[in-house]
Every structure is written in C-alpha cells, then in structure tokens.
C-alpha cells in the first residue's frame, strides 16, 4: 500500500519451506522454467507454456483476503483485474501484467470501468468479498470488515478511529492532535454528502496498484476490497498521484456523476489511508492526516 510499498502481509514464514517456483507448479499444474525474485515476497515465475505469473507469499488471512478480493472485483466484469491462477494458505499466483506507458485513451476507459465496478455494489458498508475474512489487511495493518448500513458511523468506527488509536499509542500522534480527528468523526454525518449505496471498492487504489497494460488496458492488483463509499477509491487515486488523473475523473463523472461538493470531501476520504500510513511509516504522514482533518473542520 501507498508510496512506499504495495500490499504485503506481516513478516514471518507461512509456507513450510516451499519456494515460489514449487508453489507455482503445484497451484497451476505447470512445469516452471524460470524464476526472478522481485522482492522478499514476490517472484516472477515463467511456466512451460510461456506464461509469466506473479507469485506472492503471505500470512493466511492476507492471502485469503487478497484472492477473494481479486475474484470479487473480477466478477463485476467491469475493470481489468490480474486473474488468480491459484491460491492456498501461503501462496497467491496471478497473471503477470505486461506493462506499457499510460495514455489518455486508457485513462478515459479506466474511469468508465471504475464507475462500473463501483456500481456493481456490495451488500453493506464493510462487507468482505465472498469467501474473504472479516479480519483482513491493508498493507501490514489489520483491517476489519464489519458490516453497517450507516457509512459515516462505519467509516469512523472501522476505518479512522482504529488507526488513530494505534498512532496515539505509538506516540506518532499526540492526544491533543487526535481530538481534531475525533471532531471530524463526530461531524461525519454532516460532512459525508448525499447518501450513497455501498460500492464495490478496490480499497487500496493508489497508483502502484494501477497497472497500465501494454495492450492499452488498465488492470488492478493488490486490493483491500470491501463495500464502501466510492469517493474513497477516488480520493486514494489522488493521494499519491496517478497518470492522467483528471482524464480518469472526467470519464468517471461522465459515466457516474458524483454528489454535489465531492471535491471538498476528498480530504475526509483520505483520512483513512493517511492514518494507516501513519501507523505503518511514522510521523511524516501524521502531518498530512492532521492537515486534511483541520481543512474538513474549517470548511
């Protein structure tokens, strides 16, 4: 997640000593002809039919959540998703996306596809993907998928306050600073804008999880998928920047207009990922979280 790292699971060994090539062979039923480590958790593996796959190792709940999320997003038939080729308790195998340069045409298509993904809906705010765990992850941080019909209350209780408390406990946010974020949570019913139905969210839609394919189509990876407010995905896209972002947003709004005042709510939706980053990466992100909280309170 975020500008520092893509989604991974907490440290440790979960595979009983099996390597990524052996896991890929077992889960795909193909012979492995090559391996290239990408990071401590990711390996690019070439199969005997010429396909390249990405093999990820992780903690069981994280692997289960990611596999279920990818399948749930793909089931919408809206935006491109890296297909799951196999998964078990420790390993996730997906197609490797051949990447190319981002273009305006692909950006406009992505905006329309993202609107269709969100419109495919979810049973409730906080709903986990079918087969996914309630206790999931976003980055190395636990993320609880508890259901609610009330977005402002759910967002405060399950997306903002848990990470604020962890940041205070770690000393990266002071108790006095925390009161400003708590005031935003108290005012969320009035800051949330027009009511929205639960959307099918990617949930960790920063630019590193948006792959611009060589074929001109965008594909998404590494979700923290759940039912949520569609403006949260859009705010995450803006948080760390995205190529042709205004083209993406224009195409999205043409396909699915956003509620009045949506641009003033971007900071409210960014509070969640900024506080997650504060927990994972320290004080540098706390300043940004506090700035958007103060901006929301002054609006």
In the chain, beta strands by DSSP E: 32-37, 42-47, 52-57, 80-81, 84-87, 91-95, 135-138, 141-144, 199-201, 210-212, 218-220, 226-228
Contacts of 105 (CB under 8 A, 6+ apart): 216
N-term to C-term CA, the chain: 29
Longest Cα separation, the chain: 60
Using a 10 angstrom Cβ sphere, with 0-12 exposed, 13-18 middle and 19 or more buried, the burial of residue 50 is exposed
Q: What sign does the dihedral 211-137-276-271 (CA atoms) show?
A: positive
Distance CA 123, CA 207 (A): 27
Single out the catalytic residue among 204, 222, 233, 295.
Answer: 204
Helices assigned H by DSSP within 47-157: 60-75, 104-119, 151-155
Using a 10 angstrom Cβ sphere, with 0-12 exposed, 13-18 middle and 19 or more buried, the burial of residue 249 is buried
Say whether 204 is catalytic. yes
Question: Catalytic residue numbers?
Answer: 204
């Amino acid at each position: 997640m975020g500008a520092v790292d893509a989604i991974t699971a907490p440290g440790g060994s979960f595979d009983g000593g099996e390597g990524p090539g052996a896991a890929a062979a077992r889960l795909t039923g193909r012979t492995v002809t090559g391996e290239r480590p990408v990071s401590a958790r990711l390996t690019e593996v070439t199969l005997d039919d010429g396909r390249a796959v990405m093999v990820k190792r992780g903690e069981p709940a994280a692997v289960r959540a990611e596999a279920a999320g990818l399948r749930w997003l793909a089931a919408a038939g809206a935006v491109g998703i890296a297909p799951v080729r196999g998964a078990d308790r420790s390993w996730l195998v997906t197609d490797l996306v051949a990447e190319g340069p981002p273009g305006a045409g692909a950006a406009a298509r992505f905006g329309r596809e993202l609107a269709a993904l969100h419109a495919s809906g979810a049973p409730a705010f906080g709903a986990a993907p079918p087969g996914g765990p309630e206790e999931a992850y976003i980055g190395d941080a636990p993320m609880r998928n508890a259901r609610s019909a009330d977005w402002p209350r759910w967002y405060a209780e399950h997306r903002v306050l848990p990470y604020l408390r962890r940041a205070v406990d770690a000393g990266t946010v002071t108790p006095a600073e925390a009161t400003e974020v708590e005031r935003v949570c108290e005012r969320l019913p009035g800051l949330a804008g027009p009511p929205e139905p639960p959307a099918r969210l990617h949930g960790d839609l920063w630019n590193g999880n948006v792959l611009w394919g060589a074929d001109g189509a965008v594909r998404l990876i590494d979700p923290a998928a759940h039912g949520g407010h569609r403006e949260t995905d859009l705010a995450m896209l803006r948080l760390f920047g995205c190529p042709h972002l205004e083209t993406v947003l224009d195409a999205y709004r043409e396909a699915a207009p956003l509620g009045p005042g949506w641009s003033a709510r971007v900071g409210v939706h960014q509070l969640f990922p900024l506080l997650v980053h504060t927990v994972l990466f320290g004080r540098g992100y706390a300043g940004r979280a506090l700035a958007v909280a103060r901006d929301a309170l002054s609006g």
